[in-house]
Structure 1
Amino acid sequence: MRKWTFLMLCTWLTPVLQRTATRLRAPISVNKRVAIVLWKLATPDSYRSVAHQFGVERSTVGVIVIQVVHAINDVLLPRIIRLRDVDETMAGFAALGFPNCGGALDATHIAIRAPEHRAGHFMNRKGYCSIVLQALVDHRGRFLDIYGGWSGRAHDARILRNSGLFQRLEAGTYFPRRDLTVGNVLMPICVVGDAAYPLMPWLMQPYTGQPDQNRAWFNDRLNRA
Structure 2
Amino acid sequence: MEPSEIIAAVMAVVNTSRLIVHFIQRQTLRNQARRLRQRGDDSDDDRDTDLSQRMGPRKLDILVAVGHVDTVERRFWAQETSTDWWDRIVLKVWDESQWLRNFRMRKSTFLELCDLLSSALKHQDTRMRAALTVLKRVAIALWKLATPDSYRPVANQFGVGKSTVGVAVMQVANTIVELLLSKVVTLGNVQAIVDGFAAMGFPNCGGAIDGTHIPILGPDNQASQYINQKGYFSMVLQALVDHKGCFTNINVGWPGKVHDARVFRNSGLFRRLQEGITSRTRK
Question: What's the TM-score, normalizing by structure 2?
Answer: 0.55
**1:160 Cα deviation from its structure 2 partner:** 1.4
Structure 1 residue 119: Cα displacement: 4.7
d(CA) in 2 for partners of 1:125, 1:24:
50
Kindly provide the CA deviation profile for residues 189-223 of structure 1, in whole angstroms up to 9, marking residues without a partner as x.
xxxxxxxxxxxxxxxxxxxxxxxxxxxxxxxxxxx
Match of 2:123 in 1: 19
Q: Quick one: distance in 1 between partners of 2:129 and 2:229?
A: 52
- Which deviations, in whole Å up to 9, do the C-alpha atoms of 1:118-145 show, x marking residues without a partner? 5532222233332211111112221110
- C-alpha distance in 1 between matches for 2:164 and 2:186: 33
Q: 1:27 to 1:130 in 2, by over 3 A?
A: same
- The structure with the largest alpha-carbon Rg is 2
**Aligned positions, number:** 176
Structure 1 CA distance for aligned equivalents of residues 148 and 208 of structure 2: 32
**Structure 2: 5+ residue stretches without partners:** 1-99, 101-105
User: Would the alpha carbon gap of residues 49 and 99 (structure 1) be closer, same or farther in structure 2, given more than 3 Å must change?
Assistant: closer
Q: Which has the higher strand share?
A: 1
Please state if 1:165 is matched with 2:254: no
Q: In the alignment, does 2:195 pair up with 1:122? A: no
The percent of aligned pairs where both chains have the same amino acid is: 57
* 1:169–1:175 Cα contact (<8 Å) kept: no
Per-residue CA distance 1:92-118 (angstroms, 9 max, x = gap): 122244444322222122333434875
Summarize the Cα distance change of 1:53–1:174 in structure 2 as closer, same or farther, 3 Å threshold.
Answer: same
Larger helix proportion of the pair = 2
- Show the counterpart of 1:51: 155
Q: TM-score, normalised by structure 1?
A: 0.68
Among 188, 197, 211, the alignment partner of 1:107 is 211
SS in structure 2 at match of 1:174: coil
Structure 1 equivalent of residue 259 of structure 2:
155
Decide whether the 8 Å contact of 1:93 with 1:139 is kept in 2: yes
Equivalence map 1:173-212=2 (5 Å): 173-174=277-278
Question: Structure 1: how far apart are the matches of 2:225 and 2:271?
Answer: 26
- The equivalent residue for 2:134 is 30
